[in-house]
Chain A
């Protein structure tokens, strides 16, 4: 079991770290790409510079028709620069979209980590009660999806406790006994209430253990209802 132990605070720290690093990384990538887009994309002048270079480097290119041709070349390049500007917009839009996707990915990652933490907590708490249904007619308590048959007295006790819980009250033994027996608190004994709670615990605990841990297989015997990999002897 030692391997499975995970601390909730540790996971929370990791989550925060992942979110911070992820977000700052995205912002850094976004700014760098934006700057690169503005700085490295060639403008229309790039063509002029190239044509000029060709003109300077080749001494043979001096006849009038050749010079005219070079000028036309530069002009067509300048015309292309307008197309380039629209490309820049398209690239920018794509970049923003990819940034949004990255942000979503980081958000999902953090959700995943939070869920992971929640799962680890549930794993260590043992039983997480998500629903409790008390049927007084059938003397039945349904916890999550486990059914427990109780005695009428135990059902009475758990009903009173449930009502008190719904009202946000805490009952002591005497108060519990007074509600169930219908007598005034002064006439009731603390021990009587405590006994009722003890009986309820015994009955419910016994049944719960038999469902969750020590199962009884009909006509064969008893078996621990757990994975054999988690068992360790010290």
Chain B
């Protein structure tokens, strides 16, 4: 019994420690101008805006998108509203 409790706690702790980092961003494509709002999942330990920005930009670039700005960086799961807004760009890149 004790073993199970310890195991569960361990799992919970590890989940919190390795909780995914999410970033929602705005990007554009030129000629003709295309805009999109999207959410990305990152395996970034720090999960800070400064370090995330470069990663997001690097991931978008091969698909022809230029990062405009990061709206926010967060650890908790994206809200339903955010998911809806991102649409097909939710966890796409």
- Where the two chains meet, the residues of A that have a C-beta atom closer than 8 Å to any C-beta of B are 48, 51-52, 55-56, 59, 62-64, 67, 70-71, 74-75, 78
Residues of A within 8 A of B24 (CB): 62
A49 to B85, CA, bound (A): 23
Say which one of B8-16, B34-42, B44-52, B55-63 lies at the interface with A: B34-42
A52 touching B71, Cβ below 8 Å:
no
Please state if A52 and B28 are interface contacts (CB–CB under 8 Å): yes
- Known A48-B33, A52-B68, A55-B68; further 8 A-B contacts with Cβ < 8 A: A55-B35, A62-B24, A62-B37, A63-B37, A67-B37, A70-B35, A71-B32, A75-B33
User: Of residues B26, B32, B68, B87, which shows the largest number of chain A Cβ atoms within 10 Å of its Cβ?
Assistant: B26
Check B34–A71 contact: CB distance below 8 A: yes
Contact A71 B35 (CB under 8 A): yes
Q: How far, in whole Å, are A74 and B32 apart by their CA atoms in the complex? A: 8
Taking a contact as CB atoms under 8 Å apart, the answer to whether B85 and A63 are in contact is yes
* A48 to chain B: closest residue by CB: B33
List A contacts of B33 (CB < 8 A).
48, 51-52, 71, 74-75, 78
Which B positions have Cβ atoms within 8 angstroms of A?
24, 26, 28, 30, 32-37, 68-69, 71, 84-85, 87
Which residues from A are CB-within-8-Å of B85?
62-64
- CB-CB < 8 A to A71: which residues of B? 32-35
| Interface secondary structure of A, over-half rule | helix
Q: Which residues of A contact B68 (CB under 8 A)?
A: 52, 55-56
* A62-B26 contact in complex given A56-B68, A56-B69, A67-B37, C-beta closer than 8 Å: yes
Q: Which chain B residues lie closer than 8 Å to A70 at the CB level?
A: 35
Determine whether the beta carbon of B84 is less than 8 Å from that of A67. no
Closest beta carbon of chain B to A81's beta carbon, Å: 12
CA distance A195 to B75 in the complex (A): 128
| B32 and A75 contact, CB distance less than 8 A | yes
Q: Hey, which chain A residues are within 8 Å of B84, CB to CB?
A: 63-64
Alpha-carbon distance A56/B33, docked complex (angstroms) = 14
Q: Are A48 and B30 in contact (CB under 8 A)?
A: yes
CB-CB nearest in chain B for A55: B35
Within the assembled complex, what's the spacing in Å between the Cα atoms of A117 and B28? 70
- The minimal Cβ–Cβ distance linking A13 to chain B, given in whole angstroms, is 59
Ranked nearest first, the 5 interchain pairs of A and B with the lowest CB-CB distance are A74-B33, A62-B37, A48-B33, A62-B85, A64-B87
Least CB separation from A58: chain B residue: B26
Distance A75 CA – B37 CA, assembled complex (angstroms): 18
